[in-house]
Amino acid sequence: MSILEVKDLEVSFAVGSMLNRGALLGVAGVSFDVKAGETFALVGESGSGKTTLARAVNGLQQISAGSVTFDGQRIDGLGVREMKPLRRTMSMMFQDPIGSLSPRMKVGDLVTEAYRIHGVKADMKAETERLLSLVGLNMDFADRFPHQLSGGQARRVGVARAIALDPKLVIADEPTAGLDVSVQGEVLNLLNDLRERLGLAMIIITHNLHVVHHVADRMAVMYLGRFIESGPTEEVFAAPAHPYSAALLSANPEPDPDKAKNRIALPAEVPSLLSRPSGCEFHTRCPWAQEMCSRKAPEAVNVGDRRVACHFPLEQGASPPVKAEVS
């Protein structure tokens, strides 16, 4: 059963001066759902719209079209006061593990802050102990301030805060950013473990494809605010069908040298949202682009269990065409 359904969601931003006002689309009509106990990953380069989309889902960003249904209730358009009770059941983990914690609060108060915000009566000492234990920390940490924590410990405190009031959905923005590789694995295992034990649904926003492969059941690759490929993570990783997904995956360092892939270099800069390319918006960078790509925007088509927005989805293991040398 879907805990979250997003349909044709758009987010636009006003740009320009009083005399010359315009709008740019940060998120350009995306649809997806997340089921209870499932992790859905949003992937893409900086500026692809993934954080804007997550903020729109969470009610932190106003949407200009479409709908967001959470736990059976339409929540787009709700005001701050109406959203407040929903924040118990839909929590957000912010990117900076230490910077997202108030420096003047002790860990014990930080992990139980949601109880006070929402007026939930509980034995705070017992709840602190329960939450710290869920994220692998002991009660010695309750009296520490954020600056006395390592990045990994601060991230665990962030996770404890996010799960404090038994949410149904957690949105995690770059959950491993700024952490050492060894600690990243610990945090990902913790998130996987909690999802299974608590039946959480999760949305992970990241540009780190190792994170996606480690935790996500399904994923969506975003480009200029659109989903260009979405579906089961294993399918996308095994045989990316959109050239942009293939390029992102080819740039993902592969620990096994026998499986190392040929890197697909993307030639041009990411276009500005203010001047979206015609036709397929990826055609200015696509090694497979053909003449029609600059004229006609591709419809999303089914490739296996995925949706792929490309006129010429790639076959498994496709290499980019070799361009003729210009003499």
Q: Interface residues with ligand SF4 (CB under 6 A)?
A: 242-243, 280, 282-283, 286, 288-290, 293, 298, 310-312
Q: In angstroms, give the least distance from the CB of 72 to ligand SF4.
A: 36
Q: In angstroms, give the least distance from the CB of 103 to ligand SF4.
A: 46
Cα 305-240-50 angle, rounded to 5 deg: 85
- With respect to ligand SF4, which residue has the nearer C-beta, 135 or 308? 308
The two beta strands, 306-309 and 226-232, are antiparallel
The two beta strands, 2-16 and 65-70, are antiparallel
Q: In angstroms, give the least distance from the CB of 53 to ligand SF4.
A: 21
Q: In angstroms, give the least distance from the CB of 307 to ligand SF4.
A: 14
- With respect to ligand SF4, which residue has the nearer C-beta, 177 or 318? 318
- With respect to ligand SF4, which residue has the nearer C-beta, 154 or 280? 280
- With respect to ligand SF4, which residue has the nearer C-beta, 201 or 286? 286
- With respect to ligand SF4, which residue has the nearer C-beta, 70 or 244? 244
Q: In angstroms, give the least distance from the CB of 267 to ligand SF4.
A: 12
Q: In angstroms, give the least distance from the CB of 282 to ligand SF4.
A: 5
- With respect to ligand SF4, which residue has the nearer C-beta, 258 or 291? 291
Q: In angstroms, give the least distance from the CB of 8 to ligand SF4.
A: 21
- With respect to ligand SF4, which residue has the nearer C-beta, 70 or 288? 288
